[in-house]
Chain A
């Protein structure tokens, strides 16, 4: 049988997420002829799942799940590989009154132990009752659930062998949870973001209408993981809640053959796709001479960019390299959001491309004020930030200083948001929830930025997160790895992100070490980098410091932010700035040429 991908045009009027719950969104999409298509690493279509089929299969599976008699709202953990089964289980939960919890899949060689620990921590954290992994990961899942007392753990086949009974299904209602989203891979600090049906549908409506202005002629392509907020909410739920067809490529298939993304976009005349900046960079790096003109990216009207700090330079490079394919740089759509807000907070205007604000770097550092740089000033240092647009209308946004006062336009502060899309809290973590979410509904995003008019621009983060290639790395995990070495004691290591020469995060760890011998010091660094590579899969720069030199807060706790500042002040600043100047100058030149 020859598979045929679902069409772009639907035979159903577009409805933009005006549903009481996700089950109702699928009920409506199932009336049409759109759906999702799955492609392998060679770009071959291997599975088609129309929304009609998805609904039927999810309803059947919901009956089988009910046969296990789970409590209403019980958590079903799903190892979220990019496969039709993920969608089937996710929506079976919606019909059966269960809460799906997407879990990551392992990427790194030799990560068996750390991966098992990671998903075990998540399943323990959310007190999962049920868990599912595709056949290839079932051994890892069995190991990770050992002794946790789950009611049922198995592959999709094992679930399909459960008896199907005719229960009366009660889909999850507006005030019940839609899913739990883990925001980081941290084994010590897993945080499950609780998102209600009402919250996610409110956000989806904003994304579909205000953010993307979705039309019936749109078609999406995505390689983003289903366990990531942008992959799940942005590229599974948003298309489904607006009845669009999506073409899926596995994340690892993308990572291996990034140009497959562009091939799919071309072949299906897709109009919407999102990626963190590194996805565009990776594509550009692998592009072969003369290849750009073999693609047809002229239909691509929304090239969404988010999930990490946006470096305009790399995106301009992508646009330039792919100009022969008809790619329009105005398709770049900067956005800002986070799992704690379901997904999206703001979008730049459609068809506007990236808008870069150039400010005086010295003035910014000294006065926390983003003063625009005059075009004809020479010799001033420059910082560039991408305009992330006006918040969706459901959002109230305040930028506050460290005393909690709202700051005026162009002054730097912490971004606070309030909206129906905001999470109900972190699952089973009242302490961390209270630190983040105020009783009157304001969320401390932990991000730092400023306003220009109604638009927001992000300058950095005050939370400790390190983001590398779109992955969230918690410094606590790196520090713990150091502390496991016999010659490093608890409290001897501090990890944090510093800006690399290209503006991306560089993971850095300062370790207090008594030994003076040069060879021994070099050996410790090698050993530590090796274990971080093996467990976390990232490069980490290691600095050794004398004992008792790590900075502390006034209450005596180790201070990551001070250590970070010290490091930047003493090591990096000059180097980073001179590099940035060069980049900005080129970017400005490119813009002029383009304009």
Chain B
């Protein structure tokens, strides 16, 4: 099983292409207000994540995902089940 840290490292790589300005990515980085994802970009990122981890991410987790750390936690749960 992958640790949260391992997942985080992969997430940073997946999120980095979407940052508008070079910002430091961390667990607390907000996907919307800091990375600056709009609704189309969110979906692109979801696709990249699904392809990378080879899982299906249910849309209903999104409302509770504010930060990259939140996302890592959700992914850890999904990866455990898959």
Name A's B-contacting residues (CB within 8 A). Answer: 40-41, 105-112, 115, 136-137, 140, 252, 255-257, 282, 469, 471, 529-531, 533-534, 537-539
Report the bound CA distance from A256 to B48 in whole Å. Answer: 9
Q: For B66, list chain A residues within 8 Å (CB).
A: 109-110, 534
Central interface residue in B31, B32, B66, by most chain A CB within 10 Å:
B32
Q: For B42, list chain A residues within 8 Å (CB).
A: 107-109, 537
Report the bound CA distance from A257 to B56 in whole Å. Answer: 13
What are 29 A-B pairs with beta-carbon distances under 8 A?
Answer: A106-B60, A107-B42, A107-B59, A108-B42, A108-B62, A108-B63, A109-B31, A109-B62, A109-B65, A109-B66, A110-B30, A110-B63, A111-B62, A112-B64, A136-B60, A140-B60, A252-B43, A255-B39, A255-B40, A255-B43, A256-B44, A256-B50, A469-B39, A471-B39, A531-B33, A533-B36, A534-B30, A537-B42, A539-B38
In the complex, B46 has a CB within 8 A of chain A: yes
The 5 A-B residue pairs whose C-beta atoms are closest, nearest first, are: A530-B33, A136-B60, A110-B66, A255-B43, A112-B63
Q: How far is the CB of A47 from chain B (nearest CB, A)?
A: 16
Report the bound CA distance from A336 to B32 in whole Å. Answer: 33
Contact (A533, B32) CB under 8 Å given A106-B63, A109-B37, A109-B65: yes
Please tell me if the beta carbons of A107 and B40 are within 8 angstroms of each other in the complex. Answer: no
Return the chain B residue nearest A538 by Cβ: B38
Q: How far is the CB of B32 from chain A (nearest CB, A)?
A: 4
Please tell me if the beta carbons of A530 and B40 are within 8 angstroms of each other in the complex. Answer: no
Q: For B30, list chain A residues within 8 Å (CB).
A: 110, 530, 534
Q: How far is the CB of B45 from chain A (nearest CB, A)?
A: 9
Please tell me if the beta carbons of A534 and B32 are within 8 angstroms of each other in the complex. Answer: yes
Q: How many A-B residue pairs have CB under 8 A?
A: 83
Q: Could you mark each residue 19-41 of chain B with 1 if its beta carbon is under 8 Å from any beta carbon of chain A, else 0?
A: 00000000000111110111110
Contact (A110, B40) CB under 8 Å given A136-B58, A137-B60: no
Please tell me if the beta carbons of A533 and B33 are within 8 angstroms of each other in the complex. Answer: yes
Q: How far is the CB of B23 from chain A (nearest CB, A)?
A: 12
Q: 20 other contacts beyond A109-B65, A136-B59, A539-B38, with CB at 8 A cut-off?
A: A41-B50, A106-B60, A107-B62, A108-B32, A108-B39, A109-B31, A109-B42, A109-B63, A110-B30, A110-B31, A110-B62, A111-B62, A112-B64, A140-B63, A252-B43, A255-B43, A256-B47, A469-B39, A531-B33, A537-B32
Q: For A105, list chain B residues within 8 Å (CB).
A: 59
Q: How far is the CB of A522 from chain B (nearest CB, A)?
A: 13
Q: How far is the CB of A278 from chain B (nearest CB, A)?
A: 8
Report the bound CA distance from A529 to B33 in whole Å. Answer: 7
Report the bound CA distance from A257 to B39 in whole Å. Answer: 14
Central interface residue in B40, B58, B60, by most chain A CB within 10 Å:
B60
Name B's A-contacting residues (CB within 8 A). Answer: 30-34, 36-40, 42-44, 46-47, 50, 56, 58-60, 62-66, 71
Report the bound CA distance from A255 to B45 in whole Å. Answer: 11
Report the bound CA distance from A110 to B71 in whole Å. Answer: 10
Contact (A282, B63) CB under 8 Å given A256-B46, A531-B33: no
Please tell me if the beta carbons of B50 and A530 are within 8 angstroms of each other in the complex. Answer: no
Q: For B64, list chain A residues within 8 Å (CB).
A: 110, 112
Q: For A136, list chain B residues within 8 Å (CB).
A: 58-60
Contact (A533, B63) CB under 8 Å given A41-B56, A108-B32, A256-B43: no
Report the bound CA distance from A282 to B37 in whole Å. Answer: 16
Contact (A257, B47) CB under 8 Å given A107-B59, A107-B62, A108-B42: yes
Please tell me if the beta carbons of A469 and B58 are within 8 angstroms of each other in the complex. Answer: no
Q: How far is the CB of A82 from chain B (nearest CB, A)?
A: 11
Please tell me if the beta carbons of B63 and A252 are within 8 angstroms of each other in the complex. Answer: no
Central interface residue in B34, B50, B60, B63, by most chain A CB within 10 Å:
B63
Central interface residue in A110, A257, A539, by most chain B CB within 10 Å:
A110
Q: How far is the CB of A80 from chain B (nearest CB, A)?
A: 13
Report the bound CA distance from A517 to B65 in whole Å. Answer: 34
Report the bound CA distance from A115 to B65 in whole Å. Answer: 13
Q: For B31, list chain A residues within 8 Å (CB).
A: 109-110
Q: For B47, list chain A residues within 8 Å (CB).
A: 256-257
Contact (A537, B60) CB under 8 Å given A109-B31, A256-B47, A530-B32: no
Contact (A111, B50) CB under 8 Å given A252-B43, A530-B30, A533-B33: no
Contact (A533, B65) CB under 8 Å given A107-B59, A136-B60, A256-B43: no
